[in-house]
Amino acid sequence: MTVIWKTEFGLRAVRHEPPGIKEALEAAEGFCSDREQQIEIAAALLGAELEEVRAVAREAAQQERRTLGRAVVRRAGISQAVVVERRRVRRSVMA
């Protein structure tokens, strides 16, 4: 959605993209650790239906599970299973 602003320097086109369900779920992660409460918070933030948010949360959880992998390491005839996980880095930005 594009909005036109009148400024002293002329007309400016400003794009406005409201947050989606994934962004609302990420914001809800900061409030609590319980997944069901995160879904309720995200639905309240967007004014969306709980089932719609649950479907997106389920899809995101499946994608997160896909990032996990397993590798077998063999040294000197001994095989060991190693679980490799991809962790998201959360960095806070200081202003």
| Token reading at 69 | 């992998």
Each domain of the chain, given as residue ranges in start order, spans 20-84
- Assign 3-class secondary structure to 52-74: HHHHHHHHHHHHHHHCCEEEEEE
Spatial contact of 42 and 53, defined as CB atoms under 8 Å apart: yes
The pLDDT profile of the chain, 95 residues, written as one tens digit per residue, is 788 999 999 999 988 888 899 999 989 988 888 999 999 999 999 999 999 999 999 998 887 766 555 566 666 666 666 666 666 677 776 65
